[in-house]
Amino acid sequence: MTTLPAPAPRTPAGGAGLAALITAPGTALVALDYDGTLSPIVSRPSDAVPVPGALDALRALAGRVGTCAIITGRPVDVVLELTGLGARGAGAAGGGSGKNAAAGNGAAPEALTNLTVLGQYGLQRWDGATGITTSPEPLPGVASVRALLPEVLRDAPPGVTVEDKVQALVVHVRRAADPDAALGALAPALRRLAEDHGLEAAPGKKVLELRPPHHDKGRALRELVEERAARSILVAGDDLGDLPAFDAVERLRSAGIAGLTVCSDGPEVPAVLRDRADLVVDGPTGVVALLRVLTNRLR
């Protein structure tokens, strides 16, 4: 068995996080973002399936660490559908039942019992151990924003679309002729709309999300770390929504929990995220390579 070289974080704290994960994997928590980290960024959210090998790599690593999590802005049911990870038992064999089955990603032959999916920035939760999803009622403001959005977007250019996540609404501009101009023109009215109805407007890659306040990936991560009594964490992400998770890693370090932050790099990755990361890898394929190396080191 060849031992692959360990990745080299560029910060001492990141190096300590990696060392802790490798030394005591049973108390490690590996938390991955979905879009841009397990799946490439594509123009239609419904087409975003994991890169080839991602699920096998996740499965192999999950067998060797205490906890794996996908912490995402996506609804839980969408992630389970796109990955096939929600399929259980024999029904999941031979490629899974979700969209990923068509992508030939070789999905779960059985449920991943130590995988937790925290969706909508921690509002929703699904556990592989139980197959149960918990999801609160949407804030009343979401219905108001949903009703008013068509009027606010009346003069939006072609290609601007709305993703309705039940708990939140996302305005996508990627398919507009000039996405940045479209977002710039729409953002002030969208921000007012969100504010007027008790939501917050959070920017992302060619999107503005109108979503409940006080829920972010930092809070989601901290709560999971506490629940699992994790002693080391790896967090990987690619967008502004992942910054609170990076912040959480820093705060947890000062409480004695080792951490490694990973940037899944690409053309749209915000510089602030890349600059903050202990380790930068080349997009979702780089994330898969990292998961494989970690698994190899944990054999």
Ligand X SMILES: O=P(O)(O)OC[C@H]1O[C@H](O[C@H]2O[C@H](CO)[C@@H](O)[C@H](O)[C@H]2O)[C@H](O)[C@@H](O)[C@@H]1O
Residues at the site binding ligand X, with contacts judged by CB under 6 A: 33-36, 41-43, 45, 48, 72-74, 163, 165, 170, 172, 174, 204-207, 209, 239, 241
Query: What is the smallest separation between the CB atom of 241 and ligand X, expressed in angstroms?
Result: 5
Which run of H or E residues covers position 281? strand 279-281
Residue closest to ligand X (Cβ)? 73
Distance CA 299, CA 297 (A): 6
Q: Which is nearer to ligand X, 33 or 278 (CB)?
A: 33
Q: Which of 148, 201, 200, 156 is nearest to 179 (CA)?
A: 156
Q: Which is nearer to ligand X, 62 or 173 (CB)?
A: 173
CA distances (Å), origin 150, targets 22, 44, 128, 182: 51, 20, 38, 15
Q: Give the burial class of 227: count Cβ atoms within 10 A of its Cβ; 0-12 exposed, 13-18 middle, 19 or more buried.
A: exposed
Which run of H or E residues covers position 4? none
Query: What is the smallest separation between the CB atom of 66 and ligand X, expressed in angstroms?
Result: 22
Q: Which is nearer to ligand X, 220 or 258 (CB)?
A: 220
Distance CA 224, CA 247 (A): 15
Query: What is the smallest separation between the CB atom of 17 and ligand X, expressed in angstroms?
Result: 21
Query: What is the smallest separation between the CB atom of 72 and ligand X, expressed in angstroms?
Result: 3
Query: What is the smallest separation between the CB atom of 115 and ligand X, expressed in angstroms?
Result: 15
Q: Which is nearer to ligand X, 125 or 165 (CB)?
A: 165
Q: Which is nearer to ligand X, 93 or 268 (CB)?
A: 268
Query: What is the smallest separation between the CB atom of 123 and ligand X, expressed in angstroms?
Result: 11
Q: Which is nearer to ligand X, 163 or 265 (CB)?
A: 163
User: Tokens in use for 198?
Assistant: 């008790």
Distance CA 74, CA 220 (A): 14
The conformation of residue 196, written as its DSSP 8-state character, comes to H
